DNA sequence: TAAAATTTAATTGCATACAATTGAATGAGC
DNA sequence: GCTCATTCAATTGTATGCAATTAAATTTTA
C-alpha cells in the first residue's frame, strides 16, 4: 500500500504535526522562561493573572483547558514561589480564589519581552500566523 | 492597557491555541484508542511500525520528536503488552532495534478506522485541514 | 426544610515529556 | 593500537496532563 493512500500513515494525519508543533513551540519558550523561574504552564497562568488579578481555579481551568488534577499541585507550587496566593472564597467555600502577589506583578516587567522574542522563533509571516490562529480556534470552539 | 495592544494577553499569543488545540485533539482520540489498548503516543509509534516494521529507537525519536527519556519506558511497556519486541542491533550494540510483532500487526485492522472517525471530530473542511497541515509543518521544519 | 443532585477542589493512579547525566559502544585521529 | 570524541539508550529528577474518585459545600427539588 502506498503511503499516499494509506490512512494510517503518520504523514497523512493532521493530528501529528499539531502535536509535534505544539511541543516544539513550548520547548522554544523554555530559554526565555527559565530565567523568569516559570514553566510554560505557569507562564500562561501568570498571563491570565496579569490581566485579571484574581480568578477562581475553575475559571483558570476553563480559560487554559486544564483540570484540577493539573492545576492544584501547580498552583501550590506557584504559591510557594511567591507568585500567587490561594484562599477560599467567602461567598462560596467550594471555590478557590487565586490572586496575584506583588512579586507576581513585578515579574510582568521581565516577561513583557517574551512574546516578541517568540514571534521571531516561529518561522511564519504575520499573515500566516493569523490564518493559523484562526484555524486553531476553529478546532477549539 | 487594552487587551488588543497588550502583548502579554493570552488572546494575542499564537502559542496558546496551538498548545490547547493539540491537547484537545489528542483527548478526542482517547475514546477510539482506548478500546485498542493504545495511548496516543503509543498509537503514533505503532503508525511508524505499521509502515516500517523495524526501526531503531533513535529513528523513532527523530520521526516522532521524542527523546529516550520518553521512549525507553514506553517501549518497555509496549513490549510487555506484546505489540513490539526490543533487541540490540548486531551491527552496533548502542542501537536499540524495535520491531513489530504479529500481535502488533493484527492491531492494525482495528486501528484502520480511527483516522476517518477523527476527521469527523475536527471541525475543519478538507481545504482548511490542508492549510493547517502546511502551516504546522512550516513550524516544524 | 430535608433529601437528592450538582458543583467544586483535592486526591490517586497512570502516562507522558524533557533536561541533564551516566555509561557503554563506536568512530576518528594519530 | 591507543586515546579522545561522539553517539547511543538508559536513568534520574522535575513538571505536566487527564481520568476517575472523593469529600465538602451549595443548590435544587419534592
Q: What is the pLDDT of residues B98-136, one digit of tens each?
A: 999 999 999 999 999 999 999 888 889 999 999 999 999
How distant is the Cα of B101 from the closest Cα of chain A, in angstroms? 17
**What is the side-by-side strand order in the sheet with A54-56?**
A54-56, A96-100, A84-88
Locus of grid cell 471541525 = B123
The two most distant CA atoms of chain A are separated, in Å, by 63
How many Å from the CA of B1 to C1' of C15? 41
Asked whether the beta carbons of B108 and A6 are under 8 A apart, the reply is no
How many Å from the CA of A64 to C1' of C24? 44
- In this predicted model, what pLDDT tens digit does every residue of A80-138 receive, in sequence order? 999 999 999 999 999 999 999 999 999 999 999 999 999 888 889 999 999 999 999 99
List domains and CATH numbers for chain B: 30-140 (1.10.10.10)
Q: Residue B129: closest CA among chain A residues belongs to which residue?
A: A14
- Tell me the average pLDDT of chain A: 94
Measured between beta carbons, the chain A residues lying within 8 angstroms of B24 are 65, 139-140
Tell me the mean pLDDT in the region B34-46. Answer: 98
With a cut of 70, say whether residue B2 has pLDDT above it: no
Q: With bands split at pLDDT 50, 70 and 90, how would you rate the model's confidence at B4?
A: low
Q: With bands split at pLDDT 50, 70 and 90, how would you rate the model's confidence at A4?
A: low
Residue A109, all three cell numbers:
516587567
Q: What are phi and psi of B65, to 5 degrees?
A: 60, 45
What single string gives the DSSP state of each residue in B75-129?
Answer: HHHHHHTTSEEEEE-SS-TTPEEEEE-HHHHHHHHHHTTHHHHHHHHS---HHHH
Listed by number, the residues of chain B in 44-83 with a beta carbon closer than 8 Å to a beta carbon of chain A are 44, 47-48, 50-51, 63-65
pLDDT score at A22: 98
> Cβ of A47 and B21 within 8 Å?
no
- Tell me the average pLDDT of chain B: 94
pLDDT score at B81: 97
- Residue partners of B79: CB distance under 8 A and separation at least 6: B85, B86
How many Å from the CA of B29 to C1' of C13? 21
Is B19 in the A-facing interface, judged by CB distances under 8 Å? yes
With a cut of 90, say whether residue B22 has pLDDT above it: yes
> Cβ of A132 and B136 within 8 Å?
yes
How distant is the Cα of A83 from the closest Cα of chain B, in angstroms? 17
The β-bridge relationship of strands B54-56 and B84-88 is: unpaired
Is A138 in the B-facing interface, judged by CB distances under 8 Å? yes
Amino acid at each position: 500500500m502506498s503511503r499516499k493512500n494509506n490512512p494510517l500513515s503518520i504523514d497523512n494525519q493532521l493530528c501529528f504535526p499539531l502535536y509535534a508543533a505544539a511541543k516544539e513551540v513550548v520547548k522554544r519558550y523554555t530559554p526565555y522562561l527559565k530565567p523568569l523561574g516559570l514553566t510554560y504552564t505557569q507562564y500562561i497562568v501568570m498571563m491570565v493573572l496579569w490581566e485579571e488579578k484574581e480568578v477562581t481555579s475553575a475559571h483558570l481551568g476553563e480559560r487554559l483547558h486544564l483540570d484540577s488534577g493539573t492545576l492544584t499541585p501547580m498552583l501550590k507550587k506557584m504559591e510557594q514561589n511567591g507568585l500567587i496566593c490561594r484562599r477560599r472564597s467567602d461567598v462560596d467555600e467550594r471555590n478557590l480564589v487565586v490572586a496575584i502577589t506583588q512579586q507576581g506583578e513585578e515579574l510582568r516587567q521581565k516577561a513583557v519581552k517574551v512574546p516578541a522574542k517568540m514571534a521571531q522563533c516561529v518561522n511564519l509571516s504575520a499573515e500566516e500566523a493569523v490564518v493559523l490562529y484562526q484555524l486553531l480556534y476553529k478546532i477549539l470552539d
